[in-house]
Structure 1
Amino acid sequence: MGFGYGAGAYQQVRSHGGVESADPHGLITLLMDGALERLVKARAHMLRGEVAAKGETISRCIEIIGGLRDSLDPKVDTAMVERLDSLYEYMSRRLLQANLRDDADILDEVSGLLQQLRDSWVQIAPVARAVGA
């Protein structure tokens, strides 16, 4: 993954506001929120038969997941980073399959995985801030 991949995802979540003042933990949360929002939009486009809009929205979601992969820091916990990297890679593959097969169930699967990850990530925010202080 290159810098441009993550930078594009970062640009996509700028529309949420607060990016400039967010800490690194908050930026990851914004990326996850952006991906989750796009999954909802992609599902709606899929159900309405809007092929181009569906494809673009899924592509943007894949870019955001690429940004999440780029943000992984192997110095923190190598085993955890490897598992998260594999999970992000799996989500990206599944999103490609969802796009090709017009399969809303796959979008739901990825959304569920990402929501669980986001919920866990938000729970560690107070701990991460306390450790960093």
Structure 2
Amino acid sequence: MAINNPYAAYQQNSITTASPGELTLMLYNGCIKFINQASQAIDASNIQEKNTNIQKAQKIITELMITLNKDYEVAKKFEVMYEYMNHRLIEANIKNDKEILQEVENYVVEFRDTWKQVIQINRQQQYGQGGQA
């Protein structure tokens, strides 16, 4: 079945053509989006939407954990942080606590921003120092 919605077609194409690094960046951005939606749902007293969005954020963090390359020592440290963030999301869900959501969001933003820098450095090394994309 063809996708009739041009935006949906664009999104699907961007996912299927993205590099592994870009996919990781998309996961971080998705996690931030779902945390924000959960926080808005708490404000609106919409417990079901809050729960759904926190669970989506948890699934993304779990995916990030699964895809870690454990051959590197830094991956073990990432794993500990991902476990911590998952635990805090569970706590935020139980307590309807926006402060905990903000704490986790801050970590995810920091990870995302660092990952952006890694992608930029890799591109510079791959394509040479002269041209920035």
**Structure 2-normalised TM-score?**
0.82
Offset from partner CA, 1:16-73 (integer Å, 9 cap, x none): 5411110000000000000000010000001111001100110011001111111101
| Residues 1:94 and 2:80 aligned together | no
Q: Root-mean-square deviation (CA), in Å?
A: 1.9
Measure the CA separation in 2 of the matches of 1:42 and 1:132. 39
What is the letter of the counterpart of residue 72 of structure 1?
L
Offset from partner CA, 1:80-129 (integer Å, 9 cap, x none): 00000000110000000000001000000000010011000000103334
Q: Which residue of 2 aligns with 1:107?
A: 101
Stretch deviating more after TM superposition (14-23 or 42-51) = 14-23
Sequence identity of aligned pairs in percent? 25
Tell me which of 99, 108, 111 is aligned to 1:117. 111
Work out which of the two has the higher radius of gyration on C-alpha atoms and give 1 or 2: 2
Higher relative contact order (CA closer than 8 Å, sequence separation 6+)? 1
Measure the CA separation in 2 of the matches of 1:103 and 1:36. 16
Gaps of 5+ in 2: 1-8, 128-133
Gaps of 5+ in 1: 1-13
